[in-house]
Each structure stands twice: as structure tokens, then as C-alpha cells.
Structure 1
Amino acid sequence: MSNQQIVTPFVKSTHSGGGSANECVEVAHTADGGRAVRDAKDRQRATQFYGPVGWETFVAALKKGTVK
């Protein structure tokens, strides 16, 4: 199984704006425990992949408020 194999459906981030907001992203789990992220408005664009450690570091920084 590839580390970048998407193993769950994409779901819209709860932090994306509602209605006509332009900052919508969707996230799915990958086989290695990381995440795949794509633009909800333009799903044909490239999907970005993050390994488990990178994703955990990113989420921890968001919770601390060091990433905006």
C-alpha cells in the first residue's frame, strides 16, 4: 500500500468558512496515518500529502496559535 493512498473519504474542514467563503479545504486520511488535503472549490487541482509527523506538528501549531 502506498503511503499516499487515500483510505477515507474527503471531508470539508470544520474551520473552512461557511456559505460563499473562499477558504474551503477538504481532508482525508492516508494509509500511513497522514493526511491528504485538497481545495474544495477546485478538486481537479493537485492534492497535497502530509505524513503523520508533519500533520501532527501542523495541528499542534494550530492549537497553540502559532500558525494562522
Structure 2
Amino acid sequence: MSDLEAARAAKERVRAEFGDRDGIVGVGLVRVPDGHGVRVNLRTADDAHDLPDTVDGVPVRTVVVGTVQPRA
């Protein structure tokens, strides 16, 4: 079970360690069956390589969202 504070800390760790990768377009929080987890938004499925399944016991979920562009 992951509480919200643990998920927030794991999110910051994921952002610090992986956030500068070209294929990662966002890092946030997500509800999981046992509490909270980290959501990593990816440009393509190939961008998920080497991402951990968990960080400090908090689950990491990946979602392919494509290229993110600002609204005009």
C-alpha cells in the first residue's frame, strides 16, 4: 500500500532521475488499487525502457500519450 506522501516523494525521485529523457512528456500521480502511484506519460512505448516498476515501494505506471503540444 502506498500513501499519498510516499507517492509524492517517489514522483520527485522519478522526475529527478528520469524526467530529462526525451521520450518522457510528464510525471504525475495516479490512484492504484492499493493507494497511490506515480504515472509517467510517454511519447512512445519504446520510451519505457529502463523505467522501474516501483520506486521506494511505490508503483510506477506508464501511459503512452504521444507528443504533447501547447494549445494555441
Q: TM-score, normalised by structure 2?
A: 0.27
User: With structure 1 as the length reference, what TM-score do the two structures score?
Assistant: 0.28
More strand by share: 2
Larger helix proportion of the pair:
2
